[in-house]
Amino acid sequence: MKTIFIHINDTNKLNSIKDLCSKLGIQIESIGNKDLGRSILSIISGDEKLPAKIDIPPMYNMPEVMIFKGFEETELKNFLNEYKKAGIEKVALKAMVTPYNVVWTLYYLIEHLKEEANMR
């Protein structure tokens, strides 16, 4: 099943994304600060017994992020095209779940995505 794990603070934006996902048959799961120390695997599997040990800076401000699970390349392209057509404001930090990043914590993934975004 295609699922997007998402953290969006703007309620209107989040509702627009939820509406689009509902139209496209995509499941949405909210993630937040409570998940920062969890591995991507524990988040996507729903297994909270897979803890990760990581120091997260106090007062860390979690940015908007979308993590795609179960998407083929063409499905992701279709979603992004429909997202753009819907006129929804961009989410800068996006990632696909991969065999490589599935063991990372959410915090590490976000920081990695922020570094990549700064390199562009």
Location of structure tokens 């969890």: 38
Binned at pLDDT 50, 70 and 90, residue 80 comes out as: very high
Exposed e or buried b per residue across 51-86, where buried means at least 16 C-beta atoms within 10 angstroms of its C-beta:
ebeeeeeeeeebbbbbbbbebeeeeeeebeeebeee
Residue 18 is predicted with a pLDDT of: 97
With a cut of 90, say whether residue 108 has pLDDT above it.
yes
Query: pTM surpassing 0.85?
Result: yes
Residue 119 is predicted with a pLDDT of: 77
Q: How many domains does the chain have?
A: 1
Residue of 16, 14, 35, 18 lying closest to 27 (CA atoms): 18
- Give the range of the structural domain holding residue 80, as residue numbers without chain letter: 3-119
Residue of 117, 70, 62 lying closest to 90 (CA atoms): 117
